[in-house]
Structure 1
């Protein structure tokens, strides 16, 4: 099946009122267990990497492994570069075979955000590569991008409408009160804002900071128009916790096959719970070539 553009995947999810989870993967083995979890639930899925992971593993290597895994498991799979501020890294990812990229110019003024997004659209759109942009500022830490809680800003619906009209961007990540990482308190999600943005913006919306948001809140976000739901921290935590518990219980058991299998099993169950949460289980049907 190979890697697919996430544009038609997310457009269909939006029409059918379910979400697709975009899982941050940080190692080659995580690509396989994310896709294995999705395949067992017959769900489309998006693999996504941070700029740091691209620099660590190499864009071409990531694409090769992701292609091989997607062909093995035969499920609709997109490969997305998350939160990138560097045009050259975006070019590298697209040339390597990424099917979706995010240009994050949300820290700039509106006009500069538009300019940078249009620059990426000029490169990616003709190649069928999805482009995601952010409006407002999502708080928390994502790779090298740090937004303090007091600096987080929610997106304005009219600005979202104008931004999409000016850039033609096919997916938009508006800041609506979520944050990257694990929350210290309850997330302050502005559901009314999501509804208003979805009323004036025609493209699928993206929920950043999906880790540790209560399932019912994520489902409500999806119902309001959030077609892509990003999950990173909870997946890493499940994987790492299983390894830590292995050595706490069996300090002399040093066979990587033992502790990595436990880590994989824990992360897979977390991935499955997120897939069920967004309602994409059983949604694999042969329509993604449209």
Structure 2
């Protein structure tokens, strides 16, 4: 099976009241853990690559890893650029085999965001690639994304129709209270997503796929393991999974998950090396890390996203 776009995936997700998981990948073990879980649960999946991942692993290596996953699983997989911030990086990914790109012009004015997004859409559509745009700014830090709480802003529903019609984007990331990075809220704070905004956006853009970024739930199990074996992490909580399930039942067709994977992967390595200090074979300590990725993804597919069994 060849790489697919997200167009058919999102239509089925919208009609079925579930969401597709978009999981960030950085190396072979992460790709394997994600796609093995998706294969076992017969779930469609989006593998997404950030600018930071391209700097770390290089574009060609990541594309070939995803192509290997296609051969291994025969699943519908889309390869997506996460948070492209200019035309050139989007063009590079379109020319380099990606089937989907995100152009994040949210740091610009409304008019400049439209102009940049439209430019990417025109080039992408001419090459059979779909485009995700963004309105509103999520707070938090992750890879090259760094937005302070003061600069964050909710998406304005009265802008979404004009943005989509003038740009021609295929999906839209909105800001309703999620946050980039692992440590979104301190203990005692109550995360709250603005479902009123999501509902209004859904009314203004019927049958149109909406995307949630910054949607990791921050498993305390993995946080505690990292803390136990020498990691200096603060206690924090992420987005409650029931809120994500509610979003998936509404207009949200794609939910991005990255920090949960990083925590699980790191916890596996730290725990193994702490209990086996004389071992130095990477295959030994990367195996539990990969297994943790697989466990997290299986849980998300079945219990949060609702897309298990939806690959065919």
TM class by shorter chain equals: over 0.9
1:256-267 equivalent positions in 2, closer than 5 A = 256-267=282-293
Secondary structure of 1:151 counterpart: coil
Match of 1:239 in 2: 265
1:204 and 2:181 matched = no
Pick from 258, 283, 287 the counterpart of residue 310 of structure 2.
283
Q: 1:274 offset after TM fit, Å? A: 1.1
Q: More deviation in 246-255 or 218-227?
A: 246-255
TM-score (norm 1): 0.95
1:254 and 2:283 matched = no
Query: What do the CA deviations read for 1:180-200 (whole angstroms, capped 9, x no partner)?
Result: 112224323101110110111
Query: What do the CA deviations read for 1:235-284 (whole angstroms, capped 9, x no partner)?
Result: 01101011001111111122222211111111110111111111000111
Alignment root-mean-square deviation, CA:
1.1
Match of 1:101 in 2: 101
Secondary structure of 2:150 counterpart: helix
Between the aligned partners of 1:88 and 1:23, the Cα distance in structure 2 is 23
Q: 1:61 offset after TM fit, Å? A: 2.5
Q: More deviation in 248-257 or 227-236?
A: 248-257
CA contact (8 A) 2:29 2:286 kept: no
Structure 1 unmatched runs, 5+: 286-290
Q: More deviation in 202-211 or 248-257?
A: 248-257
Match of 1:136 in 2: 136
Q: 1:60 offset after TM fit, Å? A: 2.6
Between the aligned partners of 1:254 and 1:142, the Cα distance in structure 2 is 30
CA contact (8 A) 1:160 1:174 kept: no
Structure 2 unmatched runs, 5+: 218-238
CA contact (8 A) 2:4 2:99 kept: yes
Between the aligned partners of 1:267 and 1:157, the Cα distance in structure 2 is 35
TM-score (norm 2): 0.89
Runs of 4 or more, structure 1, over 4 Å off, are none
Between the aligned partners of 1:157 and 1:56, the Cα distance in structure 2 is 37
Match of 1:149 in 2: 149
Match of 2:249 in 1: 223
Q: 1:223 offset after TM fit, Å? A: 1.2
